[in-house]
Amino acid sequence: MTGIIVLIVVGALFVPQYGLFWRIRRRRWLQSRQAVEDALAHLHQFQHDGRPASVETLSNTLGTSTKHTLDLVNRMAQLDLVAVTGQGMRLTAAGHRWALQIVRAHRLFERYLADETSVPREEIHARAHRLEHTVTEAQVDKMDADMGHPAFDPQGDPIPNAAGDMKEIESQKLVDWPAGVPALIVHIEDEPPEVYAQIIAEDLHPGMVITIVDMSPVRVVIGTPDAEHVLAPVVAANVSVREAPTEGVEPAGVPLTTLEHGEAGRVVGLAPACQGLTRRRFQDLGLTPGARVERVMQSAFSDPTAYRVRNTMIALRREQSDLIRIERAPRKEQEIDT
């Protein structure tokens, strides 16, 4: 008997969706800053893309019931953040300003996580999403200034400045790009995560120059200087490109790994695929154009290899040294240097 009572009580509390525990949690969430901010971000995104936002799209994105979403929209209307018109919902001036602040915080956090931490690429969006609700406007301003007012986030989305202005750039979807013409990746859409994960798996970054090798209704084959990548068209549609500049993007030269034992060379540049903390670390170590590198030691298992860079010995794994482009020093110069 007591067992049944306990079961009923536990059920009333914890049945998914309808249990009291979940109801209270959802109510508290809906009253929170995060709910309002997520709704603002959604409305801003749709307005920016020129799509009409409705209670349905909103409840879809937030994962709440229509009734709760209506409550939320009413509350936001009372706060003068949203105006409900015949065409649907629109952000008011105050709502728009707030929404831009969230977008700004989110993209700055993404930039920060990509540049200064070794958080994996696929986790950056979710982490920034959690962090964006925890900061004040003054903190966001400070972060922006400390990071040197970056104009783009790691996916190539523009970061609004304090006044809300963004640097928009012209781009085309990769699937609309003609085959054989070099293209510069300017933007990679990070949602939905499943699609983004496939792009990460191919190690594509904004700033890389690619060429479409082959395109069919089932697959898009793209070429980079080092490899070929195959994407499904629906995945390729999340990559935006524009015409590649004629020079200066892809450093010339050969990968550092091609250096033979005892040989020396000079750094030409770092591959565009070398981003974030790795790039920062390489620069800290002095692997800048013109720096002399000499291969000095190889470990017992052939990997890693130690190089002498600016009179310091540094061991690198093969994957890393592939990202460094060098130019072999002519024999004569080597003799002079050593």
CB of 258 to another protein, least distance (A): 19
Looking at beta carbons only, is 71 or 327 nearer to another protein?
327
Q: Is 297 in the site for another protein (CB under 8 A)?
A: yes
CB of 302 to another protein, least distance (A): 7
DSSP designation for 290: T
CB of 269 to another protein, least distance (A): 8
CB contact set of 104 (below 8 Å; sequence gap of 6+): 140, 144, 159, 160, 161, 162, 164
| Beta-bridge partner residues of 152 | 158
Q: Is 155 in the site for another protein (CB under 8 A)?
A: no
CB of 289 to another protein, least distance (A): 6
**CA distance readout (Å), 11 to 14, 15, 27, 28, 210:** 5, 5, 19, 20, 56
Q: Is 319 in the site for another protein (CB under 8 A)?
A: yes
How many helices (H) and strands (E) are present in the chain, helices listed first? 13, 14
Convert residues 234-273 into a mask of x (bound to another protein by CB under 8 A) and - (unbound): ------------------------------------x---
Give the range of 20-28, 79-87, 233-241, 302-310 binding another protein by CB under 8 A: 302-310
Q: Is 148 in the site for another protein (CB under 8 A)?
A: yes
Residues 90-129 that bind another protein (CB under 8 A): 118-120
H-assigned helices in 117-231 = 121-131, 137-146, 193-201
- As a whole number of angstroms, the distance between CA 197 and CA 200 comes to 5
CB of 304 to another protein, least distance (A): 5
Looking at beta carbons only, is 238 or 320 nearer to another protein?
320
CB of 115 to another protein, least distance (A): 9
CB contact set of 92 (below 8 Å; sequence gap of 6+): 80, 81, 82, 83
Q: Is 71 in the site for another protein (CB under 8 A)?
A: no
Neighbours of 42 (CB within 10 A): 18
277, HSE (Cβ side, Cα atoms, 13 Å): 10
Please answer whether residues 132 and 106 qualify as being in contact, where contact means their C-beta atoms are separated by less than 8 angstroms.
yes
Please answer whether residues 209 and 144 qualify as being in contact, where contact means their C-beta atoms are separated by less than 8 angstroms.
no
Looking at beta carbons only, is 239 or 273 nearer to another protein?
273
Looking at beta carbons only, is 50 or 148 nearer to another protein?
148
DSSP result, 202-229: TT--TT-EEEEEEE-SS-EEEE-SS-EE
Give the range of 124-132, 140-148, 188-196, 327-335 binding another protein by CB under 8 A: 140-148
Give the interface with another protein as residue ranges (CB under 8 A).
118-120, 141, 145, 148-152, 161-163, 167, 207, 270, 277-278, 281-283, 285-286, 288-291, 296-304, 306, 312-317, 319-320
